[in-house]
Structure 1
Amino acid sequence: MKTTVSLFWFRRDLRLHDNHGLFEALKHNEAVLPIFIFDTSILDSLPKNDARVEFIHEQLQAINTNLQAHGSGLSVYHGTPEAVIEQLTTEYDVSSVYYNRDYEPYALSRDQSISDLLESKSIAFNSFKDHVIFEQNEITKDDGLPYKVYTPFSKKWLAAFNTDRCSAFHSEELLSNTYQSSSFPWVDLKSMGFEPNPVKVAPYKVESGIIENYEATRNFPAVDGTSKLGPHLRFGTVSVREIVSKAIQHTNNTFLKELIWREFFMQILWHFPHTVTQSFKPQYEAIKWRNDPEEYKQWCDGNTGYPLVDAGMRELNQTGFMHNRVRMLVGSFLCKHLLIDWRLGEAYFAEKLHDFELSSNVSNWQWVAGCGVDAAPYFRIFNPTTQVTNFDKEHKYIKKWVPEYQELTYPTPMVDHKFARERCLSTYKEALGKN
């Protein structure tokens, strides 16, 4: 006779505390088998030393160790979710499957496929909100249509928010309800074809000083004034409810507004999934990108001859992180100085950034290209020289990442700013019919 269990499927919620879906699974008396699936549909396209895969694996090890203290463990698989779930339904008498919702197009398609599979076996598939404070249609205009501009969205978000939204789900107190066994399947990095990366995902910092001083320090890349929360929110190693609770305790709400930006971009992606590959403003599809491969490589390598642009790209290549102010500059430089398609920049960031999150990455790239919701106007073109004066006046950030910037070996600017600006305006105007 097969053992009766319910499954909890870890995805972007790699923690045992304040986990909504896990709490809902555990509060019943039935044994819960926690699982994680290294999805080959995702992994097959990643670099074999991807630090994010190693980070996920480390978080799973920590979860497993914690569960072992309760006589349980985490079952870890490598394959397609459909095949793994199918296998589990033959090994166990699965009564239900619990998970936290994900809003990206691939995740929605995958979850629909799993839903169909489970429905055919009369197994319940129970989903919960855990990754955001508000989701899907919870924050819309009065007519029910989605917001396309951040400011009114944020005002509605703040008006709808109350502290009950941040009430914790104490899943960590119910771990004795997990499935008890001495043996659980496991996979290591090597068996999946991956190897460790010497560059690790950075720990996050949300102490009071970071939050309270965020507005004053966040624009200066030489100052260690950002939280490094991105990857941890992306993979759910922290609870968004916990982080928002900390943010609302402070008089300076700039940090909170950044968290609202994240939810704004998520709802944009959920309502407008075509923006992953297409401009939100369709007329921008007419832009005649130059897409020079050699210039693209110079940008990727941080050899443009503009020190702040190069510093940002080198920081990204060496650490998996880039300061947000600099991200805007390097993005603008690629799209507007070099007239290289924003999708190429978005793909490069997707591969390199430890905090890559599809909704934010796509929306931010469309912002700098001028083709997204709530975007910078097409004629806003960052001057990479004055940006140094404004945000790295003493060249501390530049000296760290481009130590040779004052030497003869440092390349001359690959394109003149004035020329590039005029070329960009002319190209955009032609595409938009503004001549």
Structure 2
Amino acid sequence: MNIIQDLEQRGLIQQTTDEEGLKKHLSDHVVTLYCGFDPTADSLHIGHLVPALMLKRFQLAGHRPIALIGGGTGMIGDPSGRSSERQLNDEATVSWFSKQIEKQLATILDFEKEKNGAVARNNAEWLGSLSLIEFLRDTGKHFGVNYMLAKDSVQSRLENGISFTEFTYMILQSYDFMNLFEKENCTLQIGGSDQWGNITAGMELIRRTRQAEEEVKVFGLTVPLITKADGTKFGKTAGGAVWLDGEKTSPYEFYQFWINTDDRDVIKFLKYFTFLSLEEIGMLEEELKQAPEQRLPHIRLAEEMTKLVHGEQALLQAKKISAALFSGDIKQLNGEEIQQGFKSVPNVQIFKESKLLVDLLVETKISSSKRQAREDIQNGAIYINGDRQQDLSYEITENDRIDDRFTIIRRGKKKYFLIDFQ
């Protein structure tokens, strides 16, 4: 099975400019391809994973991927898929974001591979040195305004307004493709479905500027917009975006995001995001039909994605935290694992000192009054690090602090509180 057939069976191709021509091109050559990532934050989020993993799929198939960091285009802002203009960041911020994103991509792509090692490029290298006159004369003249207005990325913004800054984004991205074609022999650009207009514009620029030469073969391919069966936006949780940076979204939270995938989406996501064979995914689909309560596809999806993004040790830690929270055996966790597992629960910081449980419940507002605190304790509603405590005279001491810092108090079945002793 060739790479295009595999991508088709996984549902990963939205559009191609010339599918048969691309298949032949890929079978006849080691193809250099690229995908762009604009640095709009100091981390990628899981919405970036499909195009990043597409680069990896092509690399595994023997081709050479370029991860293009948009240090130049990131100063402008892509209007594609947006209803309003982005807030522009200054050059220092964009430069910092670019470095962080390049580090993350290096964990996904193999930059050390001898024959077809991935490379990172930053379009600030060539866009930053362009003069306005040079840009308008040599590149801008190839773009008709009517041609640009017809593109979806522009059309969708005309009603709400689009600035000239954003309007030129298409030309800048086209210049990227032309530059990589000339300098790196890059003949394929991939991206999300919202990038189709920008990709085809780049192909047109290459053809126009190289029209005196023999036929130029360049191609474009887009991946579909990821949708969830329940209609909610993929990659968003109650806490916001799911980031690839472990400091912004902990490995445990990352693991939980995937394991909580809707049954209707899990097989599709296994095809989109993992490198499991289609045969193995088919077996997992059958497991889901036969024993849905075991959630084996969900577990496999969470394991594969957490290991891919955060590594084997982070996966083991995420599973350990999950098992401890499920069983209620909090005491087996260390301080770092406590912080990951209870990141989203109410957090109260107090001084290190021994105090009666009744007083602590009131001080931290877990119980509304001493009377309520006593009732909660007597009724068996209070748990200290997973153990029920019904002694009204119980005193919280250093013995209740995990790593001499954290105590987890549970009130009732689901209300957790993290006490952080400073």
* TM bucket, shorter chain: 0.3 to 0.5
Between Structure 1 and Structure 2, the one with more strand by share is 2
TM-score (norm 1): 0.32
Larger Rg belongs to: 2
